[in-house]
């Protein structure tokens, strides 16, 4: 049976998400590899909207893993393959129901991606997932899904419709049994929107680094925080990070080592 809904605090979601998901329109992407906890994060955000706002929420999922009962909002859940044939068709049908908030369980193809962006542009808050890693990589993946002659227009559309990208991985804990989520988080500020529009996504990581006051964080920074708190091992941190050399050097400064990962890094050098 579907899992128990969790809270923001229980899964460590950035608090700034609570403000972003109150917006009446826009595209909020949750990304990561299979098994990274995307569905749980989305269920938590949908439940927060359901508890706190009067909205009509329509979800399309494959399969439904969490049940949402009516609270302050009305929630209609559709299962792809059972209630509707595809995500794209589910999205088309959902728009006829006059929803405020839409969850697209997987943005698998161009048709679904295009429909999700259009829905976000026309006054809906749209949550979607992609199997991508990192905020910049996610934006590039969306743009690259379109033919080259459409990509400039899509950059413009994304720059105005995208509100946030939450990219996550799940890590084994060493302080107690279980796993912990690690997040990279991008909030689309006017400066970020300009980078998207001008095809300068290679600068997004630097913009995230300087955007901490908006709640942004790079994956490697959160990995380091979890390691520093004794929640994950150095090996796990290095295995999942983008800059193994940089984080290995930080571990060395603390007088530690990274075991097998360190040996692999030295071998590559």
What CATH number corresponds to the domain at position 134?
3.40.50.300
253 and 182 in a common domain: no
Q: What is the domain range of residue 139?
A: 8-232
pTM, two decimal places? 0.93
pLDDT category of residue 67 using cuts at 50, 70 and 90: very high
Mean pLDDT of the chain: 94
Share of the chain above pLDDT 90, in %: 92
Same domain, 86 and 44: yes
Given pLDDT bands bounded at 50, 70 and 90, which one contains residue 255?
confident
* pLDDT-derived band at 259, boundaries 50, 70, 90: low
Both 212 and 258 in one domain: the answer is no
Q: What is the pLDDT of residue 2?
A: 57
User: Which residues is 57 bridged to in the sheet?
Assistant: 75, 101
| pLDDT at residue 269 tops 60 | no
238 shares a domain with 220 = no
Residues written for the chain: 269
Give domain status of residue 258, yes or no: yes
The pLDDT score that the predictor gives to residue 254 is 82
- Both 199 and 215 in a single domain? yes
Average pLDDT for 246-256: 87
Does residue 2 lie within any of the structural domains? no
pLDDT at residue 265 in the model = 47
């Amino acid at each position: 049976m579907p899992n128990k809904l969790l809270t923001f605090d229980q899964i460590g979601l950035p608090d700034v998400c609570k403000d972003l998901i109150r917006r009446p329109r826009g595209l909020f992407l949750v990304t990561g590899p299979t098994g990274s906890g995307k569905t749980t994060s989305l269920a938590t955000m949908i439940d927060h909207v359901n508890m706190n706002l009067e909205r009509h929420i329509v979800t399309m999922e494959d399969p439904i893993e969490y049940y949402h009962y009516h609270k302050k909002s009305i929630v209609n859940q559709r299962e792809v393959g059972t209630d509707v044939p595809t995500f794209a068709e589910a999205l088309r049908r959902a728009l006829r129901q006059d929803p405020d908030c839409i969850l697209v369980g997987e943005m698998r193809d161009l048709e679904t991606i295009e429909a999700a962006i259009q829905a976000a542009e026309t006054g809906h808050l749209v949550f979607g997932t992609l199997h991508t890693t990192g905020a910049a990589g996610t934006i590039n993946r969306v743009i690259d899904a379109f033919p080259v002659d459409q990509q400039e227009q899509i950059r413009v559309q994304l720059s105005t419709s995208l509100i946030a990208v939450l990219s996550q991985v799940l890590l084994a804990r060493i302080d107690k049994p279980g796993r912990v989520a690690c997040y990279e988080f991008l909030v689309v500020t006017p400066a970020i929107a300009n980078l998207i529009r001008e095809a300068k996504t290679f600068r997004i990581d630097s913009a995230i680094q300087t955007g901490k006051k908006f709640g942004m964080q790079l994956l490697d920074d959160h990995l380091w925080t979890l390691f520093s708190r004794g929640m994950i091992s150095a090996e796990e941190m290095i295995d999942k990070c983008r800059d193994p050399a940089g984080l290995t050097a930080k571990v060395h400064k603390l007088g530690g080592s990274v075991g097998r990962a360190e040996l692999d890094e030295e071998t590559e050098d």
